[in-house]
Amino acid sequence: MKDGETPRKILEVTHLKQYFNVGRADEVRAVDDISFHIYEGETFGLVGESGCGKSTTGRSIIRLYEPTAGRIIFDGEDISSIKGQAELKTFRQAVQMIYQDPYASLNPRMKVKDIIAEGIDIHGLADSEASRNEQVNELLKTVGLDQSHSTRYPHEFSGGQRQRIGIARALAVKPRFIICDEPISALDVSIQAQVVNLLQELQQTKKLTYLFIAHDLSMVKHISDRIGVMYYGKLVEVGTAADIYTYGVHPYTESLLSAIPLPDPNYERHRQRMVYAPQEQTGKVQSLREIADGHFVYCSEDEEALYRQKLSRKKQSVSTGSGAI
C-alpha cells in the first residue's frame, strides 16, 4: 500500500452472532454480536482464552458454520448470499484456513503430495500430472521442505513439519485471505517462532491477508498490525498491536497482559497477576466505543469518559517512564 493511500477493507464483519442450541432449552452464545474489519495486506490478531469464540468466528467467516445473524462481507460481497456450490467453491479458493492441530488436520492415509494437491485437483489448477507435481514441489520448497518429502506420510514428520504441510495445502489454491486458527499452539516454543516467521515471509511475497487467532497475546502482538481482544463471545477491545500491548485499558485486556512472562527473574518473582472479575450487568447499553483514534473499548456511554481518562493516564505514565497505571 502506497503512502497516503486509503487502506481497502477486504473483510467486514458486522453484528455477527453464532448461537448453538444445547439440548432443548439451553443456548450457547459462542459469538455474541461482534463487529470488526480487516484491511487488505494486514494481519488482524484475535486473542482471548479458550472458549471465548475465536475459532467459531473464523469458522463462521469461512462458512463452516452458518451464522445465526449478522453480515460478513468479503471483497465487497455478502457471503450469506452465496448459495450454489460453484460460488462457494470460488469463495473457498480465495479464503483458506490453517488449522490448530497439525496432527489431526492431515489425513494419515494420504501421501503429502496428495494432501497438498487436494485443492489443486478440486479447483482444476493443474492440466497434467507433471504440472501437479511441479506445483507440489514448488509449494514444499516455499514452506521449507524438500521435494523428497512428497511421497511420505504425515506420521513421518514432526509437528512443525506437519504444520508446514498444512500451510502448503492452504497456499496451493493461491488464496488472498487466510484464517490462521491457533496455528502454533500445538507446537514447541522453539518451533513457534519459525512458523510465525514463515507466515510473515509468505505474507510479503504472496500479498496475503491474515486473521491470526491465538491465546498468546505476546505472539499475537509480534505478528499482528491490529488486535481484537475477545471475552465470552464479545470483542472487548480493538486497536493497533502497539496500543493494545502498551495501553490496553479494558480490565480483561489488562489481565491478559499481566500474565505475559518476561525473561527477568526479579520481575517474575514479584509479578502480580491481575484476575478479571466481570462487572455486574447494569442494564446500560454497551458497545465498542472509540476512546482514541483507532482504539475501541466495549463499554457504556457513561464508561467511555472513564476509559478515555484511564488511557490518558497510561500514556502519560509510559512517556514519563514511571510504568503503566
Q: What are 154's three cell numbers? A: 504425515
**Average confidence (pLDDT) over 157-166:** 94
pLDDT (0 to 100) of residue 37: 97
**Which of the pair, 215 or 112, is modelled with greater confidence?**
112
Cβ of 52: how many Cβ atoms within 10 Å?
23
How far apart CA 169 and CA 10 sit, in angstroms, is: 22
Average predicted confidence (pLDDT) for the chain: 91
pLDDT (0 to 100) of residue 322: 60
The pLDDT tens digits of the residues spanning 188-234 come to: 888 898 999 999 999 999 999 999 999 888 889 989 999 999 999 99
Least confident of 29-33, 147-151, 182-186, 303-307: 182-186
The pLDDT tens digits of the residues spanning 231-272 come to: 999 999 999 999 999 999 999 999 999 888 888 788 788 877
What the chain holds in terms of domains, given with CATH numbers, is 9-232 (3.40.50.300), 250-263+286-325 (no CATH)
Q: What are 111's three cell numbers? A: 501421501
Task: Name residues whose C-beta falls within 8 Å of residue 255's C-beta, 6 or more positions apart in sequence.
Answer: 273, 274, 275, 276
How far apart CA 273 and CA 260 sit, in angstroms, is: 9
Burial 228-249 (b: 16+ CB within 10 A, else e): bbbbbbbbbbbbbbebbbebbb
Look at residues 10, 27, 96 and name the one whose alpha carbon lies nearest to residue 59. 96
Residue with grid cell 500430472, as numbered in its chain: 129
Q: Report the predicted TM-score, pTM, of the whole model to 2 decimal places.
A: 0.92
**Average confidence (pLDDT) over 284-289:** 91
Q: Has residue 3 got a pLDDT over 80?
A: no
**Average confidence (pLDDT) over 30-58:** 95
Q: What are 203's three cell numbers? A: 505474507
Least confident of 150-164, 168-182, 261-275: 261-275
Look at residues 64, 61, 69 and name the one whose alpha carbon lies nearest to residue 38. 61
How far apart CA 50 and CA 182 sit, in angstroms, is: 11
